[in-house]
Amino acid sequence: MTLESVTPSAGWGVLHLYYCVDRSRGDEPGVAKRVLDAIAALEADDHQVLTFAVLGHKADVGFMAVGPDLARLARFQQELLDGPLLPEYSYFSLTEQSEYAQTEDDERTRLGRDEDVTDPAAVEERLAVWRDRIEHYREQRIHPRLPAKATMCFYPMSKRRDGDDNWFMLDFDARKRLMAGHARVGRTYAGRVVQLITGSTGLDDWEWGVTLFADDVLALKEIVYEMRFDEVSARYAEFGPFITGLIGEARAVLESVGLR
């Protein structure tokens, strides 16, 4: 008997799972097949899975599972335990829209202020392009397609609540202004880094999960380093552990960590 489907009213579940290989069981026949079957079954149920070999000794292998049914994600994490995998770390979050996302009025103001576009017809033409772009962006935030990149980095984070450096005591306009500057830094990495920011306030130990994807691992290092100088990070951010992995076809990743 399985749990009935549990689907959030908005967003998808995002489950990061990290395991070490039980070397005493690694030679059991068919151990990799059990994991591969679990992945195939989840994907057949309209969920996504990325498999990656973890760099460093925090874990051997990781899985990032994304989809609408939390009960199905929970079953997947249990199915992985049928193989010789010992759980080391996990993180749960939901895809979400940013409350600081740019609005149409923001874009209209920017066009007049930064580009001197004020003619109503010209403004409407530019806004039509903006609407198409922002719709795609919002859809990708809520219903992401996990990218085919070579490397990934995951870390949880929260906003600081310490004396004068209390993010949640700032008014909305101040927070939105700061986040706009933070986002401008991120946009300079378009084409090099794909970012997925998910919400976990009240769901896990931190407030957000950040997953970065890139073909060049140096880009992961550079974007995090550059963002550290932005006030949002320098003054208001607290970070959890960073876990970096090499993404690959599931069978190849499992073989690389000793499962065949």
Residue among 18, 91, 155, 189 flagged as catalytic: 155
- Catalytic residue check, 18: no
Burial of 130-163, coded b for 16+ CB within 10 Å and e otherwise, reads: beeebeeeeeebeebebeebebbbbbbbbbeeee
Nearest-angstrom CA–CA distance, 198 and 188: 21
The pair of structure tokens assigned to 184 is 């401008």
170: phi then psi, degrees, rounded to nearest 5: -75, 150
- Nearest CA to 158 out of 97, 124, 205 is that of 205
- Nearest CA to 61 out of 243, 195, 260 is that of 243
- Nearest CA to 145 out of 9, 10, 6, 12 is that of 12
- Nearest CA to 131 out of 160, 158, 101 is that of 101
CB atoms within 10 A of CB 232: 19
Q: What is the DSSP string of 63-88?
A: EEEEES-HHHHHHHHHHHTTSSEEEE
Nearest-angstrom CA–CA distance, 117 and 70: 46
Which residues are catalytic, by number?
155
